[in-house]
Amino acid sequence: MVVRKSTVWRRSLSHLLEVIERLEGQGGFFFRFIEDPIDTSSPQGKFTLQVLGAAAEFERRRWIRERTKAGLASARNKGRVGGNSCPAAARILQRCAKVRSGAARWIYGAA
């Protein structure tokens, strides 16, 4: 199978290897990437693909971590903790305050 670029295939290393193993097992399919020097018919090509896939997955996870941290920092700057607001949490806190003040006996259940 000839593939133009390997960047799309490298987003999830486990998925990439699963697809390649399944296709190779079904009928001797091998992958040859036109824009990358990768040919999975040789051990060197398989190794190169795994290394590039691992690097791409590492980069993807780093990008997700950075975006998450940036989102949490933005939420903190807006006065929120933990990102998105949770209306249910606000109701639970209000109910806890009622229990503490004696206006209610239970946090959950009937009002």
pLDDT in the model for residue 66 = 93
Provide the percentage of residues in the chain whose pLDDT is more than 70. Answer: 79
pLDDT surpasses 90 at 42: no
Two structure tokens written together for 75: 């939420």
Cβ contacts of 6 within 8 Å, gap of 6 or more: 33, 35, 36, 38, 49, 52
Domain residue limits, the chain: 2-81
Q: The pTM is what?
A: 0.49
pLDDT digits (tens, 9 = 90+) for 71-108: 888 888 888 776 556 677 777 788 888 888 988 777 76
Indicate the average pLDDT of the chain: 77
The SS3 call for residue 60 is helix
Give the integer Cα–Cα distance in Å for 109 and 95: 10
